Structure 1
């Protein structure tokens, strides 16, 4: 969960959401019952629900009116993680065995679909049915982002623009949706909704850049998955894009990627080339710029206490280690 010192006003509400999440993923099917619970309890940051709750404070705040919306964005996030693990053949997620490694890809597909179906059930039986159109649009954009990532595997000609296009859809749109849902549900002014949407989008972009950075800098325990997984899988992220343009060994790096080398020594060489290129510092600087954009987008919002929480969340994004 998000660090307690940053949560402050919404800490108690997020704890209530933990119980809600367990209730919504509950099932009589023993095969997936415990694995889904384990995933929920495995240390998710709950940034997206926190953003729903924080954004809702800029309107006519009522926890009961936004409670289910906060649950919905975490359910969407959980379902996408389950499916991501299948695609990436990931053995670990947040330091514990993934559902696909425990039960097989076929069961994991259905588990992910089960969680997605709960999202639609939540909206169908809530007072926020009219927001489902916005949610559905974001879901198809998320799918486009994931498909674009698959399409671009081992593509050494990717540009910064290509990368941002992908991560906006793959990651940032769910952050933006979280902020927008909270603001709209509390009937905040349209100008405020747009400001919070921009905040969420920029925070989401920064979050994914840092995530891609951590793939090179964290250890297996911190990351909860093998270090250098992106290089191994051919996912070209911002540090690698930089190295492919500026490293003295860029041709060797390009050769490893284009030929999909699987030799562990060469994979390690590729990781070191990226590290030594300055790509990690470059990526961190870009992430910090997007955090600055996020903070600037909410400068004109009322100076209520929750605004400080949004600023603190943005700082957390660039300082995290996992």
Structure 2
């Protein structure tokens, strides 16, 4: 199943959110507008806005309120990506040229800052301090995750807990609060808010682990980047951690790591048990995501959340 099939019942509201995204980045400064538009039109699954809308379906659904959550969350995600591309010196994202490559690092950083600022401006349209607090705390956590990733480049001594905390901050938190804030903005019950947050967190953890697996075994054309890109940049993800610490031939892998023989390391990870071990953890998070929804009403919105989680586990790009 494709995400477009799952999103189909929400296509009208998602088209509206897409137009609101365009409006949000509108500016009379031509370079800034072109760079921000380039970033938003470069593709993306729009998972966070969909999670906001689905979260809102369990309360008093109101697209005019939800847009002030859905649009800012997608903007924050986009801003983090453009900053990532500067840090990683990335030429491509999703197979398309990055802002930093099309313009330069300075334009890219200011574009990211501008998009962040627009996100924070928009969310103030909702006079709910709880939403503002959750969002600001999450931005802090995302920044901490980025710093941790930089700090842990080529650090083979990091443990599983450290990796999981990093991907929580990098990916899972934004998905979790997308579900959570959609429910809060529409006055859903505390139990529903709690369940949706747990769903989004666990689904987000599975999403990032799957992303890290695909970096080794995915189709390069679909991924829009060469296989093993993370490892070549010094970003040590779950399959590589398994290879270094827990695989049957960990000692041999450590020699490859010490000598920085990345192509051989990538081949080792692909051919060993590391991918399967990483997949088991992703599946465990997906199981927890589904369990978090058990107390919610059985309807097409719950079904959509379950289908999205299933897609996360099965996706190829």
Same fold (TM over 0.5): yes
Unaligned 5+ segments in structure 1 are none
Query: Are residue 194 (structure 1) and residue 189 (structure 2) matched?
Result: no
Task: Pick closer, same or farther for the CA change 1:191–1:28 going to 2, 3 Å.
Answer: same
Cα drift, residue 258 of structure 1: 4.2
Partners of 1:320 and 1:11 in 2: CA distance: 21
TM superposition shift of 1:251: 3.4
Asked whether the 8 Å contact 2:179–2:196 carries over to 1, the reply is yes
TM value normalised by structure 2:
0.95
Q: Note if contact 2:256-2:264 (Cα within 8 Å) is conserved in structure 1.
A: no
CA distance in 2, matches of 1:130, 1:284: 36
Report the Cα offset of residue 304 of structure 1. 2.3
Q: Tell me the distance in 2 between the aligned counterparts of 1:310 and 1:316.
A: 10
User: Quick one: distance in 2 between partners of 1:235 and 1:72?
Assistant: 28
Distance 1:67 1:202 in 2: 24
* Equivalent residues, number: 316
- For residues 82-113 of structure 1, what are the alpha-carbon distances to aligned partners after superposition, in whole Å with 9 as ceiling and x for unaligned? 01111111100111100111111111111100
Partner in structure 2 of residue 69 of structure 1: 69
Q: Contact between 1:153 and 1:236, CA under 8 Å: does it hold in 2? A: yes
* Equivalent-residue separation in structure 1 for 2:91 and 2:315 (angstroms): 22
Tell me the distance in 1 between the aligned counterparts of 2:83 and 2:183. Answer: 29
Q: How far off is 1:125 after superposition?
A: 3.5
Equivalent residue for 2:83?
83
Q: Is the 8 A contact 2:238 2:278 kept in 1?
A: yes
Q: Is the 8 A contact 2:286 2:310 kept in 1?
A: yes
Match of 2:277 in 1: 282
Q: Give the Å deviation of 1:56.
A: 0.8
Partner of 2:289: 294
Q: Distance in 2 between matches of 1:285 and 1:308?
A: 23
Give the match's secondary structure for 1:215: helix
Displacement after TM superposition at 1:128 (Å): 4.3
| In 1: Cα distance, 2:252 partner to 2:29 partner | 50
Equivalent in the alignment of 1:319? 314
Instruction: Normalising by structure 1, report the TM-score.
Output: 0.94
Secondary structure, aligned partner of 1:90: coil
Offset from partner CA, 1:204-244 (integer Å, 9 cap, x none): 10010011111111233211222211111111111011111
SS of 1:226's partner is: coil
Task: Say what the alpha-carbon RMSD is for the aligned residues.
Answer: 1.6
Alpha-carbon distance between aligned partners in 2 of 1:224 and 1:20, rounded to the nearest angstrom: 27
4+ aligned runs moved over 6 Å, structure 1: none
Aligned equivalents of 1:283, 1:12: Cα separation in 2 = 37
Q: Give the drift of 1:146.
A: 1.1
Matches of 1:257 and 1:104, distance apart in 2: 32
Report SS of the residue matched to 2:153: coil
* Displacement of 1:70: 0.7
**Pairing 1:217–2:212 present:** no
Alignment of 1:14-163 (within 5 A): 14-128=14-128, 130-163=130-163
- The alpha carbon displacement at 1:34 in A equals 2.3
User: Runs of 5+ in structure 2 lacking a partner?
Assistant: none
Name the CA distance, whole Å, in 1 between partners of 2:228 and 2:32. Answer: 29
- Provide the C-alpha distance between the structure 2 equivalents of 1:128 and 1:180, rounded to a whole number of angstroms: 14
Shift of residue 130 of structure 1? Answer: 4.6
| Alignment partners' CA distance in 2, 1:254 and 1:137 | 38
Inter-partner Cα distance in structure 1 for 2:83 and 2:16: 26
Report if aligned partners of 1:247, 1:273 keep a CA contact under 8 Å in 2. no
Show the 5 A alignment for 1:169-184: 169-184=169-184
User: CA–CA distance in 2 between the matches of 1:19 and 1:128?
Assistant: 24
8 A contact 1:249–1:273 mirrored in 2? no
